[in-house]
A and B are shown apart, each in its own frame.
Chain A
Amino acid sequence: MIQFPILSLIIFLPLAGAGFVLTVRGDKEVVARNARNVALLTSLTTFILSFFLWFNFDTSTAAFQFEERAEWMPGLNISYHLGVDGISMLFVLLTTLLTPICVLASWQSITERIKEYMIAFLVMETMMVGMFSALDMVVFYVFFEGVLIPMFLIIGVWGGPNRVYAAFKFFLYTLAGSVLMLLAILAMYFVAGSTDIPILMETRFPVTLQYWLWLAFFASFAVKVPMWPVHTWLPDAHVEAPTAGSVILAGVLLKFGGYGFLRFSLPMLPEATVLFTPLIYALSIIAIIYTSLVALAQEDMKKLVAYSSVAHMGFVTVGVFTLTVQGIEGAIYMMLGHGVVSAALFLIVGVVYDRTHSRDIETYGGLVHRMPAYALTFMVFMLASVGLPGTVGFIGEFLVLVGIFQVNTWVAALTATGVILGAVYMLYLYRRIIFGKLTKDSLKKILDLSPREIAVFAPLLILVLWMGVYPLPFLDVLHVSVNHLIEQVNVAKAAAGGVLAAR
C-alpha cells in the first residue's frame, strides 16, 4: 500500500488555513467574511479528508494504521511518529466533525475579532487531531499542551463577564497537572530508551516506579477528564466560554483524559492500574452522584450541562477501569456519544442565548409554543443525554454498566443511580424551558431555528440516532483494538504475577 501522509495532512491542513486567514487584510467586513469562509472551507475539507480514514480503516487488526515516521530529534531517539488504531480513529473523526460545526455555530454570534477567532479554532483543530494521532509521547505532549493556548484565548477574549478568572483557572489547573505528566514521560524515556508509544507499551516498568508514574499521569488526566475533586475549573470555563468554545471543550477536550488513561495508564502501567482502580471507582461514584445533585440545583443552563458532563465522565472512568471488553467499549462509546450530545446541548443553549442573551433557566418557559422545531431537537438530545434506548447515550451507559457489573456489583449499583439522577435533572431542565405557558414578554417574539442552525444540528441529530440504533460499525472499529488492549494488560498482570510467584 502506498503510504500517503494522510494524518499529517489532516493535522496541518487547518494550520495552513489559519496561516491563510492571518494574511487576510482589508476593511472589517471583508476580513470577517473571508475569515468565516476560509475557516468553514478548511474545516469541511479536513472533515471530508478524514473520511479517508473511516473507509480505509482495517477493522481486523489492532496494529496502528496510517503510520508515519520522520526524524525529529535524532540524537535523542525521539521521532515524529503518527498513527491511529481503533481507539483513536473515532476521536479524530469526532474532532473533524465538531470543528466545522463550531465554525458554523459562531457565524453570527461572534461579531468581534472574527479573524482571530477563526485562527484560534483552526489552530485548535490541528492540536486536537495531532493529540489523538500521536504515537510518540513527546509529540503527544506537545499537542496535548498546545491546546491550552488557543483555548485560553477563546475563553478570555470572547467569553462572558467573568472570563478572565475562568481562563486563568482553566489554564493553570491543566498546566499544573500536565507538567507532572511531562516528568513521568521523561522518566519512562529513561527506562525504555525511547518515547515511542508502541515501544513503551511493550516495556515493563518496575512496579514501584509504575505507582509514581501512574500518579503523575493521573494528575494530568484527572484534571482533563475532569474527575471530582479537580473538576471545578470546568463549570467556570463552560459558563464563560462562547458557545463554540464550550462545544469543543465538552466535545473533544474532555476526551483527552479518558483517551490518556486508555492509551497510557492501562497498557503501560498495568500493575499500578490494578492497584489504583478502587480510587478511580470511588472518585467516579462521587462524581456521578454528587455532581448530578449539583446539576439539579443549577439555575444556569450552561452550568447544568457542564455538571452533567462531569457526571457522564464519571461513567467513562468507571468503564475504562473495569478492564472488561464491555466496560472499555462502553466508555469509549460514551465518550464519543457525549462528544456529540453535550456539544449539541451547548449549541442548544447557544441558540436561545443568541436570541435573548440570558442563560438563566428562570427567563425561559413555554418555548414549545414559539419554537416547535427547537423543542423537538432539544428533546432528542436531552433524551440522548439521559440515555434513552434508541439514542447513543443508551449504548454507552448500558455497556459500562454491563462491564462494571461483572467486576463489582456495589460499584455497579451506585453507578446506576447516575442514570436515574441524570434523567431527573435533564427532564426537569427540559420542562422548565420548553413546557408551560409562554408568559414572558421577552419570549413573545422569539424565532425558531434558522436554516443555518438546522444545518448545524442535522448532522448531530442523525449521528445520535444512527449511533443509538445501529452501533455496529462503530463497535467494529473499536473491537479488535480494545481486545488487544485488554490482552496487553492481562499479559502484563500475568507476567507480574509470575515474577511474584517466582520470588
Chain B
Amino acid sequence: MPIAEVPNLIPALPEIFMVTVAMALLMLGVFQREGDGAATVQTARWISYLGAITLMLALLLLLTVAGGRLVGFSGLFVSDSFAVFFKTLVLIGAAMAIVLSPAYLEHQGIARFEYVVLILFATTGMMVMISANDLISLYLGLEIQSLSLYVIAAFQRDDIRSAEAGLKYFVLGALASGMLLYGSSLVYGFAGTTNFDALAAVFHAGEGNAPALGVIVGIVFILAGMAFKVSAAPFHMWTPDVYEGAPTPFTAFFSVAPKIAALALLVRIMIGPFGELVDQWRQIVMFLSIASMVLGAFAAINQRNIKRMMAYSSIGHVGYALIGLAVGTEAGVQGIMVYMAIYLFMNLGAFACILGMRRGERMLENIGDLAGLSRTHPMLALAMAIFMFSMAGIPPLAGFFGKFYIFLAAIEAELYALAVIGVLASVVAAFYYLRIVKIMYFDQPAEPLNRPIGREIAAVLLASSLIIVFFFAYPAPILAAAAAASATLF
C-alpha cells in the first residue's frame, strides 16, 4: 500500500511543466552574474527566447496529453477539448506577445528577465482558470494570473502612466476578485458544494423549483467579478487607462490572453454548473453584451490615442462574444470560440503595427501619427488596413466570419433584438476603424516612421495578416475544432 496516494498529474502536465520552467528561468535570471547594463539586456533577451520556446513546448505537451475528459486533483481540475482549444489560443497569444517584447523593452531601457517570467506565470494562471472545475481552483488560477498581471502593468516603473495603470488595475482587480469570492461563498452556502459537477447536479435536481435567492445573488456577484476580468461594460473603467499606461507589448498580451482565458472561464461556469439557471442570468449577460457593444462603438470614436482606441474596441469585441454566451447554446459557444480565435490574431496583428510606430527614439501612440503611412510604409499600412477592416467585420476577412457565427447563434435562439443592436453597433464601430484606414491612406504623409520595423514585428504581422486574409478559404478546421470543443460542455 502506498504511503500517500499520488494524485493524477497527467491532466495538469502542461501547467506543471510551465511552472517548473518558469521557476527555473527565474533562478537562472537571479543567479546570473551581476554585470553591466549590456549583460542584463542579453540575459533578458535569451530568457525571453526560452520563454517563447517553453510556451510552444507546453502547447505540444498540451496537444499530446489531450484526449477525452481528464479530471485530476479530486475533481478540481479538468482537461477537456474545450480547455485545450482555449489553452491553445492563450499559449499562442502569449508566445507571440513575448516575441514582440524584447525590442520594445530594450528601447525603453526596461529589459529585465522578470518580464518574461511573469508572463509565464500569468499564462499558467490562465491555463488553470480555463481548466478549473471548482470554485476554489477557479479563484486560484485567477489570482495566479492577476497578481502577475498587476506587476507587469506597472513594469515601466519610471513612467507615471505605467505606475498608475498598475495601481488602478490592482485596486479595481482586487475589488473584482473580492466580489467573485463573495459570490462563490454565497453559492457554496446555499448549494453546499464548490465543485462544478456537483453544483450542476444540485441545480439539476432542483429543476422546476425557483433556486434559492442566495444562489442568484451569488451568481450575480460572480458575473460582476468576471465581467470585470473580461472588461465588459459597465465594469470596463480600468481598461483604457491600463491599456494606455502599460508597456505596449504587454498591452498586446493583455488584450488577448487574459481576456480569452476569462471568457473561457465565464462560459464554463455559466454553461456548466449554472446551466440550469440560464433564465436567471441570461438578461444580465444580454445587458453586459449590449452595453459593451454600444459603449465600445461610441466611446472609441473620439479617441486620439491608438492604445485607448484599441481598449474600447476590445470592449466592443467582448460584447459580441457575450452574445454567444447569452444565447447559451452549443452554437453560441462555438461562435465564441471562433470569434476569440480570430480576435487573437487580429488584435495581436494590430498591436504589432502599433509597435512598429516609432520615430527616432520615441514611440508614437497618436492616431494622427499614422498619417500617410501607406506611402512611407506600404506593407505596414496594408497589414494595419487588413486588421482594421477585419475588426469592422467586412468580408472576406476573418473578422466577418467571427461575427457571422455569433449572429448565426443569436438568430437561431431568436434573440432578434440583440442581433439587430449588435449589427447596428458594428456599423458605428466601422466608422472608427475606417478612420484609421483613412488616416493611413487618404491623408498626406507626416514625418516617416523609422524603418525597418524589426524582424519580430514583421514576422508577427505577416503571420497574423495571412491568417486573417485567408481564413475564408479554409475555415473548416477551426470550425470543426470549435464544434467538437463546444460539444463537451453540453
Mark each residue of chain B from 374 to 414: 1 if its CB lies under 8 Å from any CB of chain A, else 0: 11001000000000010000111000100010011001100
Q: Is the CB of B427 within 8 A of A149?
A: no
The B interface is mostly helix, strand or loop, or mixed, namely: helix
- Please give, as numbers and ranges, the residues of chain A lying within 8 Å of B396 by CB-CB distance: 142-143, 146
B104 lies within 8 A of chain A by Cβ: no
Q: In the assembly, what is the distance between CA of A492 and CA of B290, in Å?
A: 39
Chain B nearest CB, measured from A235 CB (Å): 20
Bound CA span A428–B475, Å: 55
CA gap between A142 and B423 in the complex, in Å? 16
User: Across the interface, do A183 and B394 meet the contact criterion of CB distance under 8 Å?
Assistant: no
Bound CA–CA A172/B24 (angstroms): 53
Kindly state the separation between the CA atoms of A321 and B160 in the bound complex, as whole angstroms. Answer: 66
Chain A hits for B13, CB < 8 A = none
Q: Is the CB of A142 within 8 A of B472?
A: yes
- A390 CB, min distance to chain B CBs, angstroms: 43
Is B483 close to A, CB under 8 A?
Answer: yes
**B438 contacts which chain A residues (CB < 8 A)?**
156, 164, 167-168
Pick the contact of A180 from B389, B423, B430, B434 — CB < 8 Å? B423
Minimal beta-carbon separation of B95 from chain A (angstroms): 28
In contact, A164 and B442 (Cβ under 8 angstroms):
yes
Is A186's CB under 8 angstroms from B411's CB?
yes
Q: Which residues of B contact A153 (CB under 8 A)?
A: 437, 441
Taken residue by residue from 109 to 141, chain A's Cβ proximity to chain B (1 for < 8 Å, 0 otherwise) reads as: 000010010000000000000000000001001
Chain A CB within 8 A of B1 CB: no
In Å, the complex CA distance between A180 and B419 comes to 9
A175 neighbours in B (Cβ, 8 Å): 394, 427, 430
A190 touches B411 (CB 8 A): yes
Question: B394 near A148 (CB under 8 angstroms)?
Answer: yes
Contact check, A149 vs B389: say whether CB atoms are below 8 A apart: yes
Contact B479 A75 (CB under 8 A): yes
Q: Is B17 an interface residue (CB 8 A)?
A: no
For B423, the closest partner residue in chain A by CB is A179
Question: In the complex, are the beta carbons of A142 and B400 less than 8 A apart?
Answer: yes
Question: Do A183 and B475 touch (CB < 8 A)?
Answer: no
Shortest Cβ distance from A338 into chain B, in angstroms? 27
A167 to B443 CA separation, bound complex (whole angstroms) = 13
Given contacts A168-B431, A182-B423, A145 and B400 within 8 Å (CB-CB): yes
Whether A149 lies near B394 (C-beta < 8 A) is yes
B458-490 residues at the A interface, CB under 8 angstroms: 472, 475-476, 479-480, 483
Interface presence of A72 (CB below 8 A) = yes
B61 proximal to A (CB < 8 A): no
Contact of A275 with B by CB under 8 A: no
Q: Is the CB of B430 within 8 A of A190?
A: no
Interface residues of A in 146-204 (CB under 8 A from B): 146, 148-149, 152-153, 156-157, 163-164, 167-168, 171-172, 175-176, 179-180, 182-183, 186-187, 189-190
> Chain B residues near A157 (CB, 8 Å)?
374, 441-442
Chain B residues near A152 (CB-CB < 8 A): 434, 437
Closest-by-CB residue of B relative to A171 is: B434
B412 in contact with A190 (CB, 8 Å): yes
CB-defined contacts of A145 to chain B, threshold 8 Å:
394-395, 400
Is B53 in contact with chain A by the CB < 8 A criterion? no
**In contact, B441 and A179 (Cβ under 8 angstroms):** no
Cβ-based interface call for B426 (8 A): yes
Pick from A72, A75, A183: contact of B423, CB under 8 Å: A183
**Is A73 an interface position by the 8 A CB rule?**
yes
Q: Does B420 contact A (CB under 8 A)?
A: yes
| Whole-angstrom CA separation of A332 from B395 in the bound complex | 27
Within 8 A of A (CB), among B152-205: none
Q: Contacts of B400 on A, CB cut-off 8 Å?
A: 142, 145
Chain A residues whose C-beta falls within 8 Å of the C-beta of B446 in the assembled complex: none
Whether the pair A172, B420 counts as a contact (CB closer than 8 A) is: no
- What is the CA–CA distance of A179 and B423 in the complex, to the nearest angstrom? 6
Could you tell me the distance in whole angstroms from the C-beta of A72 to the nearest C-beta in chain B? 7
> Which residue of chain A lies nearest to B420 when distances are taken between CB atoms in the complex?
A183
As a 0/1 sequence over residues 205 to 236 of chain A, the CB contacts with chain B under 8 angstroms (1 = contact) are 00000000000000000000000000000000
- Decide if B28 is an interface residue (CB 8 Å cutoff): no
CB-contact partner of B475 in A73, A116, A187, under 8 A? A73
Task: List residues 38-68 of chain A with CB under 8 A from any CB of chain B.
Answer: none
Contacts of A441 on B, CB cut-off 8 Å?
none
Report if A146-B394 is in contact (Cβ < 8 Å); known contacts: A76-B479, A164-B442, A172-B427.
yes
Would A176 and B420 count as touching, CB distance under 8 A? no
Does B424 sit at the interface, judged by CB under 8 A? yes
A74 at the binding interface (Cβ < 8 Å): yes
For A146, list chain B residues within 8 Å (CB): 394-396
Whether A182 lies near B434 (C-beta < 8 A) is: no
* Min CB–CB distance B465 → chain A (angstroms): 13
Decide yes or no: A75 and B480 within 8 Å by CB, A157-B442, A164-B438 being known contacts: yes
A27 within 8 A of B: no
Q: How far is the CA of A78 from the CA of B126 in the complex (A)?
A: 35
- Residues of chain B within 8 A (CB-CB) of A142 are 395-396, 400, 472
Pick the most buried of B411, B420, B475, B479: most chain A CB atoms within 10 A of its CB: B411
A271 to B188, CA, bound (A): 56
Point out the residues of chain B lying under 8 angstroms from A141, CB to CB: 395
Which A66-92 residues have a C-beta within 8 angstroms of B?
A: 71-76
Q: Which residues of A contact B395 (CB under 8 A)?
A: 141-143, 145-146
Docked complex Cα distance between A74 and B441 (Å): 38
Q: Per a CB cutoff under 8 Å, which of B378, B389, B407 touches A182?
A: B407
Residues in B neighbouring A164, C-beta threshold 8 A: 438, 442
CB-based contact B408/A186 at 8 Å: yes
Q: Please name the residue on chain A nearest to B427 by beta carbon.
A: A176
Smallest distance from the beta carbon of B474 to chain A beta carbons, Å?
9
B476 touching A183 by the CB < 8 A rule? no
**Given contacts A73-B479, A186-B408, A179 and B426 within 8 Å (CB-CB):** yes
- Other than the given A146-B396, A172-B434, 5 more pairs (CB < 8 A) read A71-B476, A74-B476, A148-B394, A172-B430, A176-B424
Q: Which 10 A-B pairs have the closest CB atoms?
A: A179-B423, A142-B395, A186-B411, A156-B442, A176-B427, A145-B395, A142-B396, A146-B396, A146-B395, A175-B427
A and B contact pairs by CB, cutoff 8 A, 7 listed: A74-B476, A76-B408, A142-B472, A143-B396, A157-B441, A183-B411, A187-B411
